[in-house]
């Protein structure tokens, strides 16, 4: 079972073999993804919304990313594990960005970091890559800029915005990124960006023309708070299944149907009872 590396992902692009990616934040789900053949696991800062009940990703800390990424990276062998650099861990200075990227790699065992932003982040991407850390870029809808973007909106719909996005994608590649997440852009633009780059694109709401796809696990399981964007496909409604299971448990406990005899430990020959009986 060969570890997925940056070289392998580049080879997949050349071969036209689609890259499969998902987000995970803990060991059990990471292991299940490995069993299912997922190539790349992103420990996204979406953890803030998916697991910590936050309204956006902005409050996610380095410590939280380290905790979740360590659990994921310890659990899997084959998939590449990429960790998101949280808001304000890479924007202040190149030096701070390299330091934080280094911490994510050293303390988690992940293979790469991801950061949001285009041309303006070129020097930062270059500095991290020069430190020997593979960097995944992220353009289009960049959730850490939600307030600047005026909400979670599709990007690159107008010709000028599309041109800027293509320039951003090329700048990220030139700066040394090994792959690029394209989020919430028209499918046509996703295909154009993919064709104009040598590095693989991983789309989320960017159409079927990307080199790979990624979804937030909690979205595909229907367990994140809705409403969901159009690009989300609910593969299984785990929320409904879990709520039904919890209801059944509540009913059974209230009606004294759980625990049943097979869920109880039993004393040999009724020993404790005879001891109590003798003492009386
Ligand atoms: O944080 C995240 O989960 C992401 C994906 C949406 C790509 O950045």
What angle, 0 to 180 degrees and rounded to 10, lies between the N-to-C axes of helices 62-75 and 94-108?
40
Work out whether the CA dihedral 123, 126, 130, 135 comes out positive or negative.
positive
Q: Measured in angstroms, how far is the CA atom of residue 44 from the centroid of ligand 1? A: 5
Q: Which listed residue (34, 64, 173, 183) is catalytic?
A: 183
* pLDDT score of 227: 82
Whether residue 183 lies in the annotated active site: yes
Which alpha helices (H) appear in the chain, and where do they start and end? 6-15, 27-36, 47-50, 62-75, 94-108, 122-130, 146-149, 159-174, 187-196, 217-220, 238-254, 271-279
What is the longest distance spanned by two Cα atoms in the chain? 90
Q: Tell if the pTM clears 0.85, that is, is over it.
A: yes
Yes or no: say if 212 and 181 are a contact pair by the CB < 8 Å rule.
Answer: no
Q: Which domains does the chain have, with CATH numbers?
A: 6-236 (3.20.20.60), 241-279 (no CATH)
Identify the CA nearest to 153 among candidates 220, 229, 83, 82. Answer: 229
44 lines ligand 1 (CB under 6 A): yes
Structure token pair of residue 47: 């953890």
162 lines ligand 1 (CB under 6 A): no
Please give the Cα distance from 143 to 145 (Å, whole number).
5
Please give the Cα distance from 78 to 174 (Å, whole number).
28
Structure token pair of residue 71: 């659990």
List CB contacts of 254: < 8 A, sequence separation 6 or more.
Answer: none
* pLDDT score of 275: 65
204 lines ligand 1 (CB under 6 A): yes
* Cis peptide bond N-terminal to 227, omega within 30: yes
pLDDT along the chain (280 residues), means of 10: 95 98 98 98 98 96 98 98 98 98 98 98 98 98 97 97 98 98 98 98 98 97 88 96 98 98 86 62
* Residue listed under structure tokens 């409403």: 227
Identify the CA nearest to 249 among candidates 241, 258, 240, 237. Answer: 258
Query: 172 exposed, middle or buried (CB, 10 Å; 0-12, 13-18, 19+)?
Result: buried
Please give the Cα distance from 102 to 91 (Å, whole number).
15
* pLDDT score of 174: 98
């Amino acid at each position: 079972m060969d570890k997925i590396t940056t070289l392998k992902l580049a080879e997949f692009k050349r071969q036209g073999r689609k890259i499969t990616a998902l987000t995970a934040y803990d060991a059990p789900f990471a292991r299940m993804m490995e069993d299912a053949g997922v190539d790349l696991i992103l420990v996204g800062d979406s953890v803030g919304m998916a697991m910590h009940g936050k309204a956006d990703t902005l409050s996610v800390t380095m410590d939280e990313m380290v905790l979740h990424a360590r659990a994921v990276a310890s659990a899997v062998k084959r998939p590449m594990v990429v960790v998101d650099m949280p808001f304000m861990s890479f924007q202040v200075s190149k030096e701070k960005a390299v330091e934080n990227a280094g911490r994510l790699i050293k303390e988690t065992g992940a293979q790469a970091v991801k950061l949001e932003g285009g041309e303006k982040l070129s020097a930062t991407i270059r500095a991290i890559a020069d430190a020997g850390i593979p960097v995944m870029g992220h353009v289009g809808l960049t959730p850490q800029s939600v307030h600047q973007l005026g909400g979670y909106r599709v990007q690159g719909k107008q010709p000028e915005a599309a041109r800027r996005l293509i320039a951003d994608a090329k700048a990220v590649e030139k700066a040394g990124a090994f792959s690029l997440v394209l989020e919430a852009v028209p499918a046509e633009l996703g295909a154009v960006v993919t064709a104009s780059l040598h590095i693989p694109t991983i789309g989320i709401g960017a159409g079927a023309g990307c080199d790979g796809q990624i979804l937030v696990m909690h979205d595909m399981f229907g367990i994140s708070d809705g409403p969901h964007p159009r690009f989300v496909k609910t593969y299984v409604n785990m929320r409904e299944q879990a709520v039904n299971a919890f209801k059944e448990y509540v009913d059974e406990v209230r009606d004294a149907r759980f625990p049943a005899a097979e869920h109880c430990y039993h004393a040999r020959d009724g020993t404790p009872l005879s001891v109590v009986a003798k003492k009386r």
